[in-house]
Amino acid sequence: MKASQFYYGWTIAWALAITQTVGFGILFYSFSVFIKPMEAELGWTRAQTSGAYSVALLLSGLIALPIGRWVDKRGARLLMTVGSSLGALLVLAWSFVTDIRVFYLIQAGIGMVMAATFYEVAFTVVAVWFRKHRKTAMLIVTLVAGLASTIFIPLSSYLVETMPWRMALRVLAAVLLFVAVPLHALVLRRNPQMLGLEPDGQSQKDAPIETSQSVREALHSSHFWWIAFAFTLDRITIIGVAAHSVPMLLEKGYSPATVAAATGAIGIMQLAGRLFFTPNTARFSLASLSAVTFAFHTLGLLMLLFVPGILSIWLFAGFHGMANGASTLARAGIIADTFGPANYGSISGSMATIIALVQTVAPLGAGVLHDRSGNYTLVIWLLALSSGLAALTVLQARPKPRL
């Protein structure tokens, strides 16, 4: 292949960047915007609404491993196309919900769609199509997708303020259907060899040999479990904040406009976190960078507790956003670098299952603590503690120096 010829893998990376933005924005970030209007109309408690979010996360984790195995063996095109189609239908069904049991079933389905269409699958595709330029391709996907909250929390808030919340969900369902589905169906391909290419667009003789561990070898490695434990603790913080960010900040006395702006700023700061993280992987270990990332989550939450006035929400948005952005790259990078690309989907899926089974306590637990205490103070403390422990734990995954 000529060096000047454009490599199709970059087309896939940009397509995934767009679909991840739309998918995360609608299926993940917009949930918190609909909590209060749903509770006002349907009479549900905070624990009931946030419990449905926990169910979605639980189902997402339970099927992460079989999803990973599917992608390793068959590719992601059919899976992501069907998944995003079902996602649009489920968001549409959500707009008609009146019964809490039906709402939980819909959210369970959305959780399975998350597993089939979110970062775990997208990064598996990137790992197959890229070796030398893998970090750059992942950066492209996550830089654009980092705008998901910046775009969709304010957009969803605007829709809820200007029309009934049910109609707002129908608008979002249409966006998911007409953006994500065509890109998944028309752009994705299983691997570069299907197009007569090698990863990074190199010729076969120039392609570097990259070793990979089997799933069994990875699961018997202490590194796998330290990494899984650390990212589980930090994910509790991320999910707890994501599920409750809008009501949490509103109840601290900030106006809806300020809350929408601050949650949007989190997305902007995710970009800053990723731009900081990627170039520093050449200077520092991924474990050390992950520890700094988790510490930023803790600092952001502490800003809400100790900094007075309007400054606290902006400091929170800055630290939390940077940490959110970097953490996505941290887990993807540390898995690929430690275990190789051949079984990336299965290994990443195994870790995602562990993380999801634990992280489901965050939305429901935060909702229960809020209902019992009447505020989010204890919730903020516990989430800050979780990410702080994650920072200490991930350092155990650093390779030990040889004597």
In a domain, 115, yes or no: yes
Q: CATH code at 237?
A: 1.20.1250.20
Find the length of the chain: 403
Residue (of 291, 295, 289, 294) closest to 276 by Cα position: 289
* Rounded distance between C-alpha atoms, residue 64 and residue 233, angstroms: 18
CB 67 within 8 A of CB 116: yes
pLDDT recorded at residue 205: 53
* Rounded distance between C-alpha atoms, residue 266 and residue 322, angstroms: 8
Q: Residue 316 has which token pair?
A: 């929170």
**Which amino acid would we find at residue 156?**
S
pLDDT recorded at residue 401: 44
Question: How many CB atoms lie under 10 A from the CB of residue 305?
Answer: 12
Which regions of the chain are under pLDDT 70? 1-4, 202-213, 341-342, 398-403
* Rounded distance between C-alpha atoms, residue 342 and residue 247, angstroms: 42
Q: Residue 334 has which token pair?
A: 């540390």
Going through 344-391 in order, the beta strands assigned E by DSSP cover none
How many structural domains does the chain have?
Answer: 1
Helix (H) or strand (E) holding 52: helix 46-62
pLDDT recorded at residue 348: 78
In a domain, 200, yes or no: no
CB 129 within 8 A of CB 198: no
Burial profile 106-133: b = 16 or more Cβ within 10 angstroms, e = fewer: bbbbbbbbbbbbbbbbbbbbbbbbbbeb
* Rounded distance between C-alpha atoms, residue 371 and residue 20, angstroms: 33
In a domain, 185, yes or no: yes
In a domain, 137, yes or no: yes
pLDDT recorded at residue 403: 36
In a domain, 108, yes or no: yes
Q: Which residues contact 105 (CB under 8 A, 6 or more apart)?
A: none
Q: Which residues contact 18 (CB under 8 A, 6 or more apart)?
A: 144, 179, 180, 183
pLDDT recorded at residue 1: 44
Residue (of 156, 184, 158, 187) closest to 172 by Cα position: 156
* Rounded distance between C-alpha atoms, residue 65 and residue 269, angstroms: 31
Per-residue pLDDT tens digits for 96-122: 999 999 999 999 999 999 999 998 899
The domain containing residue 309 runs over which residues? 8-191+215-397
Residue (of 162, 166, 147) closest to 95 by Cα position: 166
pLDDT recorded at residue 98: 96
In a domain, 51, yes or no: yes
Rounded to two decimals, the pTM is: 0.77
Going through 125-283 in order, the beta strands assigned E by DSSP cover none
Helix axis angle, 256-280 to 286-306, nearest 10°: 160
Question: How many CB atoms lie under 10 A from the CB of residue 98?
Answer: 8
CA angle 326, 32, 125 (to 5 degrees): 40
pLDDT recorded at residue 57: 84
DSSP state at residue 27: I
Sign of CA dihedral 113, 19, 39, 385: positive
In a domain, 64, yes or no: yes
In a domain, 402, yes or no: no
CA angle 258, 22, 248 (to 5 degrees): 30
